[in-house]
Homo-oligomer: A and B are copies of this chain.
Amino acid sequence: MQLNQFLEDFSKVEGAKILVHGGGRGASEQLKRMGIEPKMIDGRRITDAETLEVVVGFYAGVTNKSIVSSLQKLGVNAMGISGSDGNAISGVKRPVKTVDFGFVGDLHENSVNGKLFQILLKNELIPVVCAITHDGNGQLLNTNADTIASAIAKELAKIKEWNVELYFCFDKNGVMKDVNDESSLISEIDFEFYQELKADGIINEGMIPKLDNAFEVIKSGVKSVYIKHASNVNMEIGTKLI
């Protein structure tokens, strides 16, 4: 139901838009049913061949097509893609250092096929991108959805006449001074203020990679970046990075 509400809100967002998503709880539940225990390190899933098959089935199959068919119902001409489709997003298998993450992909400077996104958007096809990339050599790779969204935003921000905005949606209202106190929401934050808050230990651990990433996007020319609750896409509640 939460997803349905989000999609309805998304359908009302005006202009060209792109949705990037992970796999929801479906993939984890399926892995559990199959007796495969999720192995997480630093919040990232270790992806062996068997896990990758489940992840691809959910991200690119079940979740992506459920979102696309729901958006079609809502009058949005959605087009579900993985990174392999039209070579939308290529990645490289994460090198094994202390941890072998398996079939996990990292992005590089030229990962995003900006031309493909332009073709789709100019033809009024709304890309719905799942968090799967490919290495160009036939290998699919489980890739972080925030990273993909950031990379797409950065690439499209290179087009002068486009005002690219990026919304990170999650289950909190935004960046808060006290994670348990909704009234401590920070409505605007610049890089300097962020550094202060980080130094004072006020920013929650889990938010740091999200914010580091988000400030990098701001620096690259994306007009605005927001961190918001998925329920507030069309409302002025959230944290704006400036």
Contact = CB atoms under 8 A, between A and B. Distances in A.
Interface of A: 33-34, 53, 56-62, 64-66, 68-70, 72-73, 77-82, 84-87, 116, 119, 123, 125, 132, 134, 136-140
A228 to B, nearest CB: 25
A57 B68 contact: no
A228 B184 CA distance: 67
**A interface, over-half SS:** helix
B34 A69 contact: no
Contact of A61 (B57, B77, B119): B57
Contacts of A139: 69
Contact of A56 (B65, B116, B123): B65
A53 B60 contact: no
Given A62-B53, A77-B86, A84-B80, A69 B140 contact: yes
How many copies of the polypeptide does the oligomer hold? 2
Interface centre among A62, A85, A123 (most CB of B within 10 A): A85
A56 B119 CA distance: 26
Contacts of A78: 84-86
A101 B225 CA distance: 47
Given A56-B62, A56-B65, A57-B58, 9 more contacts: A33-B34, A60-B80, A61-B62, A68-B82, A68-B84, A68-B85, A70-B138, A73-B136, A79-B81
Given A33-B34, A80-B82, A85-B80, A138 B73 contact: yes
Nearest to A116: B125
A134 B69 contact: yes
A86 to B, nearest CB: 5
A120 to B, nearest CB: 9
Nearest to A135: B69
Nearest to A113: B77
Given A34-B33, A123-B119, A137 B65 contact: no
A119 B77 CA distance: 14
A138 B66 CA distance: 7
A217 B113 CA distance: 37
Contacts of A137: 73
